[in-house]
Chains A and B, each alone.
Chain A
Amino acid sequence: MVSDAGTLSEDKAGSGWWARGEEWLVRASEYLNPLLVKEARQALKSNQFASTFILLMTLAWGWSFLGVSLSEFQLSLGPDGRSMLFGYFMILVVALFVIVPFSAFRSLAAEREDGTFELISITTLSARQIVFGKLGSSVVQMTVYLSALAPCIAFTSLLQGVDIYLICFLLLISSIVSLTFSSFGLMFATITRARHWQSALSVLLILALGFATFVWLVMSFEFFIGGFGRVVLEYEVFWTSVLNTLTVGLSFVALFTYAAAGQLSFASDNRATALRCVMVAQNVIGLGWFIYYWLVTGDWDFLSAAVVTLGLYWSVAGAFMTAESPQLSPRVLRQLPQSLLGRAFFSWFNPGSGTGYLFAMANIGVAVVFILAMLGLSTVLGMRQFGMPPFPAGGGDDLLLTCVMVWAYLAAYLGIGRLILALFRQFIYVSLPLAFVVYCALHVVGNIVPYMLYASVDRYQSSYSTILAPSWMFTVYTALDGKLNGDLAIALVSITGAAVFLANFILAAPEVGYEKMAVPDRVMKDEIDLHPELQPKAAKSPWD
């Protein structure tokens, strides 16, 4: 029997392949995240884990007997394979979509409630390692549940109407979604430390996961029972959908994981740069997929959808970024890019309210410019012969207008929100929940009040009115619908957006003025003591 760290205990040393295998496993565990090892040990002794596993097995076997009985033992002859698979899928989805993410949430929340998180946080494990350890534990749990149902699911592949592609698709998508939900659960657990709020969050998360599971099952029912799966599997679109889910899902896993790690990291740490890198990746992935679908289908609505979706994405991301403190700790200042080019291109990745605002605007700006470039290439330069879809008559104006409106509204709403938060910061500490409340209030006032005025002044008129100009919801919707004809409203929104952007651009200047701070000699000496192989090097990157 293995006792510890790669050594066999002298009194119980075994021989043969079993002992060797166990020793190899212990050695392999040296490379695993300590939290993963700890949680695996806990799970093996946990009644909760054992009972969930047994319940899952019982349900699966129960469904096997019930399904076979209901088909009157004629499974191989009839189209009941999909019904059987759907039954197993329901059991699996509840485990993967509810139990695994909620366990991840509770696992981190319990560490914080019991004070063990503090003990872990003062070890040499980084916040990112802690979150990845918890996520790894979710993956292990997921694998165990998948393994429990694997024999049953494998059994359905022998039946009518079910093939291996369908099974792989199911398992892959379910795993990705489960991983995304788990990372979201981890991020959710970092929102508050207060026990009563954690209880409220638990209920909220369970409800959200339950709802998501229900929606997924309803969609899956259509997919399996309606025979849609067989049709879709035959098209190239199906496989791109899988790739789409993978890239988008995994990018959200990265986003939630880094957000959770940022929340858990030490107050003077850089919590922003890694997250902003993920956001840039998501911007590229999102834009890339919309352009791909536009090219494949020839439907220009995909480009309109791209600019609106990315606008919504950056309004949420921007709200959180503008809540960041504009002050940088000496710890962060030591890591700033130093060269002129580095500062010009990477200062926007530094933490800070102003850099966050400009970062969001730059990203949506890139997306807008790219979409307009597509429009230009397709219409003006006539790139149709290179596979670009033909443009519908008059549609170009609507897309252009939508792009301008989305950029202007984002500039205005984010900019005004940032200025309000900057004002608050003069008197109180601006937390993320406070920023969230401020932005919610801003959007409610900006959208609901104009609509109420509009309804009271001109209740029977269905056309767009200038009163609705502050409301991005109505204005963008009207622009998408091709009915935005209020020149005054367009001008108002554009000018307001540009003015607010300019004001924020000027006010954000001090945040770009930060200069790299020298690392103290004591720290340099310690670094060389720790890593003698590291010697002072010549500048090779913008950070040197």
Chain B
Amino acid sequence: MSQPMIELRRLHRNFGRTRAVNDISFEVPRGTVLGYVGPNGAGKTTSMRILATLDIPTFGDAFVDGFSVINDPDRVRRRLGFMPDYFGTYSDVNCWEYLDFFARAYGLVGPERSRAIRDVMAFTRLDGLRDKPIRGLSKGMKQRLCLGRSMLHDPSVLIMDEPAAGLDPRARIELREMIRALSARGKTILISSHILTELAEMCDQVAIIELGRLIAIGTVQQIMRQRTSHREVKVRSLDPLDSLMNWLARKEQEESVFDLKRDGEIVRFSHRLSADEEAGILRQMILDGIRVSEFAGHVTSLEEVFLSVTQGEVQ
């Protein structure tokens, strides 16, 4: 098995008596976009700051590409780009000077630095704003500039803390596209956001934390399966719905399905069957002459998962 790009191993971080991060462990494989979700004060920013080598855990360790954030922060920094939940920009410098400074700080020299700056300006669509003073940039532009800054040294891991906060819809869409493009380039991304619908579109997996503890991790469907023992299916038929209802009622008597109900032109039911057994029901339905036009499991949204797994507690 290849080495995970991000690994949290029994991570703890206490501030006085507050346990901001409480025994969190998980791994993120190379090339994965992991959404980091949790209520305010859940410990997302704290654990991200530890990964970014800005803080040190009280107990446990975190690794980026196999390097400990405690013992090898310099090696972690070469592999990691961090976009915090603030801009961190300077007055009296323009976009190019800002990126040039950070490129120098990452040790890029000469033509390599010029190329890196050009590339990130093109990627973040800031090439037209080369000489524009930073103080004149909009929030969306500043966010793109900060993304560019975090990419200058071509890190293999990107950590983004609330990158979409406060952005207008267009800027959010642009940011989402950039994150998708980065994912396509094989970057491993850990991203936190409260805009769950957008996060669901970008992420391969999500990790949900609350009160400093990891509640669940996996794809949305995996988490939902872990959390609920049944699956809801909706069926549409070209025939009158009565025949479908009768067919399913028989199955309900056999206790294969339950919670059968009619919802307009759709019939919904739930079951605790395996995927194979679910496919068997569809096959049987068709063999029994029911003209099925739609047979689909209910797609659980990230919001539903979030609400079902979190309690809304704060510390």
Contact = CB atoms under 8 A, between A and B. Distances in A.
B78 to A, nearest CB: 6
A181 B67 CA distance: 39
Given A5-B109, A38-B97, A122 B77 contact: yes
B75 A42 contact: no
A424 to B, nearest CB: 16
Interface in B42-90: 52-54, 56, 66-68, 70-75, 77-78, 80, 82, 84, 86, 88-90
A121 B56 CA distance: 14
A41 B75 contact: no
Interface string B220-260: 00000000000000000000000000000000000000000
Interface string B93-113: 100110011101111011101
B263 interface: no
Interface string A401-431: 0000000000000000000000000000000
Contact of A122 (B52, B72, B93): B52
B111 A6 contact: yes
B216 interface: no
A118 B89 CA distance: 11
B149 interface: yes
B67 A329 contact: no
B92 interface: yes
A262 to B, nearest CB: 15
B301 interface: no
A30 B108 CA distance: 9
Contacts of A7: 111, 114
Contact of B53 (A34, A115, A122, A334): A122
Given A122-B80, A124-B74, A523-B72, A268 B56 contact: yes
B149 A119 contact: yes
B102 A122 contact: no
Interface string A307-347: 00000000000000000000001110010000000000000
B114 A34 contact: no
Contacts of B101: 34-35, 37-38
B206 interface: no
A456 interface: no
A410 B105 CA distance: 43
B217 interface: no
Contact of A38 (B56, B73, B90): B90
Contact size range, A: 20 to 34
B70 A34 contact: no
Contacts of B72: 331, 523
B117 interface: yes
A42 B114 contact: no
Interface string A104-125: 0000000000111011111111
Contacts of A46: 92
Contacts of B82: 119, 122
A99 to B, nearest CB: 18
Contacts of A114: 88
A73 interface: no
B93 A523 contact: no
A115 B88 contact: yes
Contact of A124 (B93, B105, B111): B105
A114 B89 CA distance: 8
Interface in A124-175: 124-125
B75 A4 contact: no
A236 interface: no
A327 to B, nearest CB: 12
Contacts of A331: 70-72
A526 interface: yes
A505 interface: no
Nearest to B3: A522
A523 B105 contact: no
B92 A6 contact: no
Contacts of A38: 90, 93, 97, 101, 104
A124 B107 contact: yes
Interface string A6-44: 110000000000000000000000100011011001100
Contacts of A522: 66-67
Contact of B70 (A30, A41, A120, A329): A329
A122 B54 contact: yes
A404 to B, nearest CB: 44
B90 A42 contact: yes
A118 B106 CA distance: 14
Nearest to A527: B75
B71 A330 contact: yes
A5 B84 contact: no
Interface in A192-243: none
A35 B89 CA distance: 14
A116 B117 CA distance: 19
A123 B105 contact: yes
Contacts of A115: 84, 86, 88
Interface in A358-392: none
Given A42-B93, A118-B88, A523-B67, A268 B73 contact: yes
A268 to B, nearest CB: 5
B78 A124 contact: yes
Given A115-B84, A116-B90, A125 B71 contact: no
Contact of B113 (A4, A118, A120, A125): A4
Nearest to B130: A3
A45 B135 CA distance: 13
A5 B111 contact: yes
A65 interface: no
Nearest to B115: A5
Given A122-B82, A266-B53, A523-B67, A41 B111 contact: no
Interface of A: 4-7, 30, 34-35, 37-38, 41-42, 45-46, 114-116, 118-125, 266-268, 329-331, 334, 522-523, 526
14 contacts: A4-B113, A5-B110, A5-B114, A6-B110, A34-B101, A38-B90, A41-B97, A119-B149, A124-B106, A329-B70, A330-B70, A330-B71, A331-B72, A523-B75
Q: Which 7 A-B residue pairings sit nearest by Cβ, starting from the closest?
A: A34-B104, A123-B105, A38-B101, A45-B92, A267-B56, A5-B114, A42-B92
Given A122-B77, A124-B107, 18 more contacts: A4-B117, A5-B113, A6-B110, A30-B110, A42-B91, A45-B93, A115-B88, A118-B84, A119-B82, A119-B102, A122-B82, A123-B77, A123-B153, A124-B105, A124-B106, A124-B153, A267-B56, A329-B71
